Amino acid sequence: DSDGIEINHEIIFAEQKFVVTPLERRLRIGGAAEFTGLVAEPNFRRSEVLMELGRRAVPKLTLRSGTVWMGQRPTTPDSLPVIGRATGASNAIYAFGHGHLGLTQAAPTARLVAELIGLGPSSIDLAPYSASRFA
């Protein structure tokens, strides 16, 4: 449990790049990004660093039970998603690589994809989001 620590909302520690989030009777500490391949083994050293940061931020925090895990997020080296028509396949549209902002950027990305499907003009310049920027 959360050791009697009452946190009612997410706390973002921007300078240290981590977040403490309340989950029922527990706290979640998160905030790491590691660029590896899809089959790479997780590096849980960052989890140890996050726990230490959490202890400093919330001194009453103890670790009696918990789960260390990692999830994969599709992201790009420049943190911008890829949105646009696939090169060489006019009937395929790219819309991926949103990283930690997938849900936040879902609606505007859907609008851009709908504009591309409708063959009308895009409401923004999609050049910065082109997959060709990595060529």
Question: Average pLDDT by consecutive 10-residue portion of the chain (135 residues)?
Answer: 72 89 84 80 87 87 77 86 91 92 90 90 93 92
pLDDT at res. 4: 65
pLDDT at res. 86: 92
**Is 47 inside any structural domain?**
yes
Indicate if 1 and 66 belong to the same structural domain.
yes
Per the structure, the complete domain to which residue 107 belongs is given by 82-134
Tally of domains in the chain: 2
Report how far apart the first and last C-alpha atoms of the chain are (Å, whole number).
Answer: 49
pLDDT at res. 59: 84
What's the full length of the chain, in residues? Answer: 135
Sheet holding 26-30, edge to edge: 11-13, 18-23, 26-30
Indicate if 67 and 90 belong to the same structural domain.
no
Indicate if 49 and 11 belong to the same structural domain.
yes
* Inter-CA distances, 101 with 10, 74, 92, Å: 16, 10, 23
- CB of 97 closer than 8 Å to CB of 105: no
pLDDT at res. 3: 59
How far is 131 from 135, CA to CA, in rounded Å?
8
Indicate if 4 and 68 belong to the same structural domain.
yes
pLDDT tens per residue across span 91-130: 999 999 998 888 889 999 999 999 999 977 899 999 999 9
**Is 120 inside any structural domain?**
yes
How far is 29 from 56, CA to CA, in rounded Å?
12
Indicate if 94 and 48 belong to the same structural domain.
no
**Is 121 inside any structural domain?**
yes
Handedness of CA 50, 51, 52, 57 (dihedral sign): positive
**Is 109 inside any structural domain?**
yes
Indicate if 50 and 114 belong to the same structural domain.
no
**Is 77 inside any structural domain?**
no
Question: pTM for this one?
Answer: 0.65
pLDDT at res. 22: 86
| Cα R_g (the chain), whole angstroms | 19
Q: For strand 11-13 and strand 82-86, is the pairing parallel, antiparallel, or unpaired?
A: unpaired
pLDDT at res. 16: 87
Strand segments, DSSP code E, in the chain are: 11-13, 18-23, 26-30, 82-86, 89-96
**Is 56 inside any structural domain?**
yes
Domain boundary (52, 72, 92) is at 72
Secondary structure letter of residue 65 according to DSSP: S
pLDDT at res. 36: 80
Indicate if 5 and 66 belong to the same structural domain.
yes
**Is 125 inside any structural domain?**
yes
